[in-house]
Amino acid sequence: MVQPHRGIPQDDAGTLRRLVLVVLTFGIVGVGFELVLLDHMEDPWQWAPIVLLAAALPVSIWLILSPGIAVIRTYQAMMVLFVISGFVGQWLHYQGNVEFELEMYPSRQGLELVWEALSGAYPSLAPGTMILFGLLGLVACFRHPAVHTGPVTTNTLEKP
């Protein structure tokens, strides 16, 4: 019979939270480098995700190494900006493709125009990565023990 490990108890939620943050941090580094390599810097709108990714990197590391209420709230605010920038980026990519398609083929309209714009030169769905990163960051901070000092319940219908 195998005896259970009696060492330090595992905090499964904390371990999972840190793993999500580590994976997210690697993603932030990778996408940041990719945007720089793609020269995604032609106008201020294109700088927005690069600046957000660069700003999030030290905050991510800070959160992994020394979680506290200040860094958690900072990270949550940054992740909301990630989500917003993702939606703005998707709109800008889509609009750029629509403009290009209408220059090349002025008669395009309806679903044909939408499809061509979605599959155009600017990757319309690529900014969704910022949305994904933002949501993952918010999930990693959800009910973080450094923020919630009282008991956390899962049933909100029960009266205390």
75 CB neighbour count, 10 Å cutoff: 22
pLDDT at site 146: 85
Closest CA to 127 of 75, 80, 83, 76: 83
Q: Domain limits of the chain?
A: 14-141
45-78 confidence digits (pLDDT tens):
999 999 999 999 999 999 999 999 999 999 999 9
Through-space distance between the first and last CA atoms of the chain, rounded to whole angstroms: 42
Whether the predicted pLDDT of 112 surpasses 60 = yes
Whether the predicted pLDDT of 2 surpasses 60 = no
Contact residues for 143 (Cβ-Cβ < 8 A; gap 6+)? 152
Average pLDDT over residues 130-157: 80
74-93 confidence digits (pLDDT tens):
999 999 999 999 999 999 99
3-state secondary structure of 76: helix
pLDDT at site 139: 95
pLDDT at site 159: 55
Quote the CA–CA distance of 156 and 97 in Å, as a whole number. Answer: 46
Quote the CA–CA distance of 43 and 84 in Å, as a whole number. Answer: 18
